[in-house]
Amino acid sequence: MTWLDRLRAEPRLILDAVRAASPARIVGESLLVLLVLGLALLPVVLLPLSMPSVFVAAALAVLLTVARLRWPAGALLGTAGLYLVGSFAAMPVLAVISFHAGRRVLPRSRLWLALAVTLLAGFLLGGPDFETEELAGYLLITTGLLVLPALAGLLVGRRRPLSRVLRDRNEYLEQVRLLTAAEARTAERAHIAAEMHDLLGHRLSLISMHAGALELATAKQAPELSEHAHLLRTTAGTAMAELRDVLGILRVGPAEELDQDSGTRADLARLVAESRRVGVDVELCWQGPELDEVDVRVRRAVHRVVREGLTNVHKHAPAATAKVRVEVDADWVRVAVQNGPAAGGPLGTRRGLAGLQERVELLGGRCTSGSTVDGGFELRAALPMLPPAAPAPERAAPVAPPGPLAGEVLTAGRVLGSGCLGLLVVAPMLLVAVVFVVLGFFTGGGPIPAADYAGLNLGASQESVRERFGQGSDLSPFDPVPMPENAECLHYRAADDPAVRQYRLCFRDGMLVSKEELRR
């Protein structure tokens, strides 16, 4: 595509960008344009000045403010025209354009080149003479209006993409965590189903065996019952085959080596002894009666809680001391595995804890885990002695966790950084506004032509001066030249150069006793 084709496509691209912008963005940009225009026209309203350069500078400032959205580097280069026009009121727009260019212009070498060209062009077109005071003031203003806002925009432009990447990564990790927990719950249900296969398979085998014996006995002693015994034996065999087929689909791994002794005091003592053999300092504290006669599902859940807790100690805190506590009363079995603080080990996925929570809640119990006050970790579970016969009702869908923290969350560092960035951009505008408001309030009265000022003689009456040139303004708090003793001084603008020069006329007892030409 040639440059002419790109130029022809610009109006359509600009229109598409405007349509895609949010209403808030359009309103914000419109307010910014109005603010820039208002600052640029302040000399006309407050001083007042009717120089054409003020209107030219205002039009150029508005044009550059709008153009920066599409061509940030070009708008930055165009600010050199403001130096040529020489309107101080329009200069704050430099900070806005420079800040935006710092955020948008890529690569960074292009930004520095555009900034350097702008500084050089501004110095050549409207820079000061090579006098120490004027040159120092020019460098100070240029640094505040161009260099510092560009650096601020550069920092913001680099931070926002990184914040966006971090936010996307946090969202991805949060989704992974939720999917991992859901998969762990499904796998735990499959493990429970496999355990039920071992229990029910044994019971169904006994039923089938006794039904076969009953069938043989009834064939000789009660032929009328032989058919029922045969049906009982075949039904038990069919149930066993169907159970094996269904659980074969659900099986996610090798079945656990659990038996009728799982979850008893002797079983937990074996788990603790195995942990001690591999170097973990762990003890078992048991309070209450034994669990030999408790529902087998509860005992297996107790076994799983202790085993999962000790496994976590092995992985993440092998050098810490650990304690396994079991409290048994008439209604509940409470199990806790706690370890003390230890050097940071590898972070876990909490997959095992999610599956364990699923098992406990299916039995109508509660399972929690988290850090302790001293920096350790504790796993707790409370299981009913008589779990419900039917599966526990499905839990409500978990509430989606809050989204990851955005990069704009207010921390102390970000508050300080945002304040500094805002100060670099807004302070020049406020400074210009204050200067012109002060000048508007304290430079009242009609301007005095240079010839009339030269013709004013000491001794003229104050009334005649006011009748001729107006009331004047009292600028004594800002007066750089000491006033005569017991005198009242009035300030007037110079008609030929009102933005730079003014005249001070001092009166004592209604008579002109001093006149001074002051420069801003």
Instruction: Tokens for 253, please give them.
Output: 């791994």
Mean pLDDT by 10 residues, the chain (520 residues): 74 82 88 88 64 83 90 90 79 87 87 89 71 67 82 77 76 78 70 62 69 80 80 79 63 53 86 88 92 85 89 84 92 92 63 79 88 88 83 47 45 50 57 54 64 88 86 65 83 73 86 83
pLDDT of residue 401: 46
pLDDT of residue 129: 57
pLDDT of residue 378: 92
CA distances from 380 to 19, 324, 377, 485, 500 (A): 57, 10, 10, 88, 80
- Cis amide leading into 341 (omega within 30): no
**Phi, psi values for residue 400, rounded to 5°:** -60, 130
Interatomic CA distance for residues 129 and 137, integer angstroms: 11
Strand duo 488-493 + 501-508: pairing: antiparallel
CA distances from 402 to 85, 100, 183, 398 (A): 53, 32, 21, 12
pLDDT of residue 404: 44
Q: Strand runs (DSSP E) across 308-458, as ranges?
A: 321-328, 332-339, 366-371, 377-384
What angle (nearest 5°) sits at the alpha carbon of residue 72, between those of residues 25 and 430? 65
pLDDT of residue 381: 94
pLDDT of residue 441: 46
In the chain, helix, strand, coil percent, each to 5?
Answer: 60, 10, 25
Interatomic CA distance for residues 49 and 41, integer angstroms: 9
Instruction: Tokens for 48, please give them.
Output: 């007042």
Interatomic CA distance for residues 309 and 218, integer angstroms: 54
Interatomic CA distance for residues 323 and 283, integer angstroms: 5
Q: For residue 443, which of 479, 476, 492, 478 has the smallest C-alpha distance?
A: 492
pLDDT of residue 398: 47
pLDDT of residue 396: 43
pLDDT of residue 418: 52
What angle (nearest 5°) sits at the alpha carbon of residue 331, between those of residues 325 and 335? 20
pLDDT of residue 246: 64
Interatomic CA distance for residues 392 and 384, integer angstroms: 12
Which pTM was predicted?
0.45
pLDDT of residue 454: 86
For the beta sheet containing 321-328, the strands, ordered from the edge strand earlier in sequence to the opposite edge, are 281-287, 321-328, 332-339, 377-384, 366-371
pLDDT of residue 405: 44
Contact by Cβ (8 Å): 78, 99: no
Q: For residue 439, which of 405, 475, 396, 403 has the smallest C-alpha distance?
A: 475
Contact by Cβ (8 Å): 335, 162: no
What angle (nearest 5°) sits at the alpha carbon of residue 20, between those of residues 19 and 21? 95
